[in-house]
Amino acid sequence: MNACPCCRPTGLGRRSFLGAAALASLAAGPLATPARAATPAAGPRMAPDQALAKLMAGHARYLAGAPVPVAHGAEARAARAAGQAPFAAILGCADSRAAPELLFNTGLGELFVVRNAGNVADTGAVGSLEYAVANLGVSLIMVLGHERCGAADAAVAAARARLSLPPQLSDMLQPIIPSALAALRAGGDVLDGTIRANIARSAARLVEVSPVLSAASTAGRLRIVGARYDLDDEGVTLMS
Ligand SMILES: [Zn+2]
């Protein structure tokens, strides 16, 4: 993880920003196991259920038409420049209609957002979320899929027939294919079934592949939830 100054958590110096465990892991080289970087540098700032309640309260404000709460002025700028303390992380789709900061009526510095086409838990997403949990004290991760997802639609098409796709696009769709195949077997609304299955799959994968996230979840420091954003009524609904 680069020591990007924009990622420095509030109130922590450069050394503690990376965390002693992370520094040790970096020093140990690429063979260091993820578990060696698992020791959080800071505990969560907010209980997981509290973070979820705060997130959904923000969504209620969005639905009610509240203005975007971005503070301006020298004082607000100085506070943001000093560091970040997001209360939740979102793994969302890159779709231009599904911007988490807007949907949850949050200002700059409140959400740690990772987006890619299809909200898949790929290496970059998992590593970024590990950083949010271990170094920023984030206690809630929401995997946010959405209605009529183009990536899920492409995965359904790829599951139905061999497609000629650019290699990178083909690779990107691979994690969604099992969800598409399951939805095809189940019948009904295949696209929405794929979207829902993919949300659940990404959420499950976070703890399957990451000792950092798994340990935090087991210890009760982290909650991972799936949610679906409906483009028609703009509602974000939590999935079981
Ligand atoms: Zn999408």
Is the pLDDT reported for residue 221 higher than 90? yes
Bigger pLDDT: 4 or 230? Answer: 230
Q: Give 16's pLDDT tier (boundaries 50, 70, 90).
A: very low
pLDDT digits (tens, 9 = 90+) for 65-122: 999 999 999 999 999 999 999 999 999 999 999 999 999 999 999 999 999 999 999 9
Nearest Cα to 19, choosing from 140, 137, 139, 108? 137
Q: Give 222's pLDDT tier (boundaries 50, 70, 90).
A: very high
Residue 93, annotated as binding a ligand: yes
Mean pLDDT computed over 205-223: 98
Task: Share the mean pLDDT of the chain.
Answer: 86
Sheet with 236-239, side-by-side order of all strands: 111-116, 88-93, 140-146, 223-229, 236-239
Is the pLDDT reported for residue 24 higher than 50? no
Interatomic CA distance for residues 81 and 60, integer angstroms: 29
Is the pLDDT reported for residue 210 higher than 50? yes
Residue 233, annotated as binding a ligand: no
Q: What is the pLDDT of residue 106?
A: 98
pLDDT digits (tens, 9 = 90+) for 144-167: 999 999 999 999 999 999 878 889
Question: Please, what are the domains in the chain?
Answer: 41-239 (3.40.1050.10)
Calculate how far, in angstroms, residue 238's C-alpha sits from the geometric centre of ligand 1. 17
Evaluate whether 239 touches 200 at the Cβ level (below 8 Å): yes
Q: Give 227's pLDDT tier (boundaries 50, 70, 90).
A: very high
Calculate how far, in angstroms, residue 195's C-alpha sits from the geometric centre of ligand 1. 9
Q: What is the pLDDT of residue 164?
A: 83
Calculate how far, in angstroms, residue 33's C-alpha sits from the geometric centre of ligand 1. 32
Interatomic CA distance for residues 49 and 222, integer angstroms: 9
Nearest Cα to 90, choosing from 233, 203, 5? 203
Beta bridge mates, 227:
144, 238
Q: Give 8's pLDDT tier (boundaries 50, 70, 90).
A: low
Interatomic CA distance for residues 169 and 147, integer angstroms: 20
Calculate how far, in angstroms, residue 20's C-alpha sits from the geometric centre of ligand 1. 37
Calculate how far, in angstroms, residue 161's C-alpha sits from the geometric centre of ligand 1. 20
Calculate how far, in angstroms, residue 229's C-alpha sits from the geometric centre of ligand 1. 10
Interatomic CA distance for residues 57 and 48, integer angstroms: 14
Is the pLDDT reported for residue 130 higher than 60? yes
